[in-house]
Structure 1
Amino acid sequence: MKHPMKILEPTTSEIRIASAAAILYLLNILLLPFIAFVLLLVLYQRQRHNVSTLVQCHLIQAMRASICAGLMLILVSIGILLFGNLHEVSTWIIFILYVLCVHSVFILFGVFALTKALSGKLYFYPLIGKSTTHGAHDGS
């Protein structure tokens, strides 16, 4: 009688670390921009050799998304303000709409990542995340 391959469920510790990465990402873009990013870097440094695919996935995704969100929000916002006329209402409308829309999308993806982490599943951010699979199956 042949036994089917058993898929290992993530441990509570792995779920806790993956969730911490997602929470730090959300804190980084919502409440504590620089502080939460530094804490995410510390968590990444401490867990970078963790063999768990779940932990690695969520750590790398949170790092990438934090850097991408920061660059997009800061650089494009600066570009809008530099190339727009600061005395025109349209420049400010474009700036506010851009920041609100892009920021909201990053928050939404962070919430998706947190719910996946809490359920012990992988999550890959759209457009920036697929190259970090390390041969793992997509859990999203």
Structure 2
Amino acid sequence: MNSEDDFGITEDKQGQSLAVTAAALFLLNLLALPGLAFLILAGLWLKVGPDTPPLARQHLKQATYVSFWGGLLIVGLSAAILLAGGLQSAWTWVVLILYFTCIHSTLILLGMIALIKAMNGQIWRYPLIGPTVDAP
């Protein structure tokens, strides 16, 4: 490998680069490319096979499930708040903006923790809505 191909990234544990990719796609879905990043993430999850390293498999599973459930939480409950309060009520918008901001920023914070864990080659489980971690 010549120096032009070395980007300073070394994979300490097997599957670490795929784990980092999963965490990065989770954050991209929340911050820059909603929907598109989820489709890529879900496509990667569907390609996971028994020969995929456990670290990568766990991060893909966590990121995909939490993206799905987090999206349902954000969209579903935001719609319910709008329907319950009506579009004309100022309090509807106060509650909606507070709810959206709290859930969205919490998911971003947890996604950053997942990215750090993936970069360190560690397993991560999102609290409350993350699926259980498979036994090693």
Q: Which category of TM-score, normalised to the shorter sequence, fits these structures?
A: 0.7 to 0.9
Residue 86 of structure 1 deviates from its aligned partner by: 1.8
Residue aligning to 1:50: 51
CA deviations 1:45-68 (Å, max 9, x no partner) are: 233333421011100000111001
Q: 1:10 aligns with which of 13, 17, 26?
A: 13
Residue 117 of structure 1 deviates from its aligned partner by: 0.2
Q: Which amino acid aligns with 1:86?
A: L
1:44-123 mapped onto 2 (5 Å cutoff): 44-123=45-124
Gaps of 5+ in 2: 1-11
CA distance in 2, matches of 1:127, 1:69: 11
* TM-score, length-scaled by structure 2: 0.86
Residue pair 1:50, 1:56 contacting (<8 A) in 2 also: no
How many residue pairs are counted as aligned between the two chains? 125
Residue 129 of structure 1 deviates from its aligned partner by: 2.5
Residue pair 2:62, 2:131 contacting (<8 A) in 1 also: no
68-77 vs 36-45, which deviates more? Answer: 36-45
Q: Which amino acid aligns with 1:124?
A: R
Residue aligning to 1:135: 135
Residue 130 of structure 1 deviates from its aligned partner by: 4.9
Q: Percent identity?
A: 39
